[in-house]
Amino acid sequence: MLDNKHKITSAQLFVFIIVVQIGIGFITLPSAIVQIAAHDGWISILLAGIISTLVLVVIMLLLKRYKDKSIFQITVLLYGKYLGGVINLSIVSYTFIAASLGVRIFTEVMKTSALKMTPPTLLTFFIMLPAIYLAWYGLKAICRFENILLFVFAVVIVFFLLIYKDFRLTFLMPVGGTGIGPISMAIIPSFFGFLGIELIAIIYPNIYDKENAMMYAIAANLFSMTFFVIVLIFLTGFYGETMLRRLEYPFFNIARSYSAPVIERVDLFFVALWFPAMGSSFLNYFFSSYYSINTLFNINKREVFLLIFYIIVALVSRIPKNLVQTNELLEMLNPVGIGLMGFLCLSYLFSFINKRGVDIK
């Protein structure tokens, strides 16, 4: 499956990473972090960003040692055919479940904010149509499409500038006043916002200029960290920690505070503008899972499999009874993502013991 339509540059990898990190994960993340670290939540995000960057460096060093091999080939070389096969199936299962839960969250947000009368199952299949279209045209098409989302992120910052008069710096004082304990405890949920860098291990063989991959990957993670910190600082300074704890989607609620002379419902405009970002976030997991299965099992009729895979993901996304159950499942899945990062770091260390397949150049 290593054809030209999946080949990307390191610059496109940059976009791939920030979209998968920012798109869905940060919708409810501010409330969760403030619950623990109060007004110092931004410090927890900063620390989580630094730690995740160090983890990212180790992951990239692992992939660099094996040059053009994906994680599925590396695991077999390191741990053998059978154990490596079990690990590979676990990775595929993780990306599949992440894609399904991402679709469900996207569906719930869209239904709650815009299409309240649309049957949820129909809405699920509808919002996944761009995913199946872009997945068919490959990773290159996905990354090219996601370039437009840089504009969306810029609009968010511009919007904050429009309502800066309601920002209260006193809501962020005193810095560090929450204490080392709560700030440290909030690092783990903050770390969930940086999930997505593990997908690099799946798509790494498709990067043209691998010599620049680490630089762009680090830049992407730092971009996400900076964006997260800016958003959380502004939300905390705008609402205050007490109000922020009560809001389910504070990132969207803040749009209601601004009245434009032309646009009547700025919040709907803001939500609609963010829809492509949410869709692209689950799209990256959807593609990674689809691509992984094709890589492992070398499926010939890919167009038929893509259609079947699309239907299965849509149906599995409807299994949770409601958004509460979906979030509970997501809370169970997020530590698995962190565990996968930890596994990749341990594999890097183990590669110095078992050097089979290592590129010695």
211 Cβ contact list (under 8 Å, min separation 6): none
Confidence check: pLDDT of 274 > 90: no
How do residues 325-336 score in pLDDT, each as one tens digit?
A: 988 898 899 999
Evaluate whether 203 touches 16 at the Cβ level (below 8 Å). yes
Cis peptide bond N-terminal to 250, omega within 30: no
DSSP letter for each residue of 339-357:
HHHHHHHHHHHHTTT--TT
pLDDT class for 49, splitting at 50, 70, 90? very high
Evaluate whether 228 touches 26 at the Cβ level (below 8 Å). yes
Evaluate whether 44 touches 190 at the Cβ level (below 8 Å). yes
The C-alpha atoms of residue 232 and residue 117 are separated, in whole angstroms, by 32
How do residues 128-175 score in pLDDT, each as one tens digit?
A: 998 889 999 999 999 999 988 888 888 888 888 878 888 888 888 888
How do residues 52-93 score in pLDDT, each as one tens digit?
A: 999 999 999 999 998 888 899 999 999 999 999 999 999 999
The C-alpha atoms of residue 191 and residue 204 are separated, in whole angstroms, by 22
DSSP code of residue 26: T
Bridge partners of 8, per DSSP, are: 207
For 4-347, which CATH class?
mainly alpha
First to last CA, the chain: 26
Q: Which of 107, 138, 96, 93 is nearest to 24 (CA)?
A: 107
Evaluate whether 207 touches 67 at the Cβ level (below 8 Å). no
pLDDT class for 204, splitting at 50, 70, 90? very high
Confidence check: pLDDT of 242 > 50: yes
- Kindly list the domain boundaries of the chain, sorted by start residue: 4-347
- pTM score of the predicted model: 0.90
Tokens for 227? 């964006």
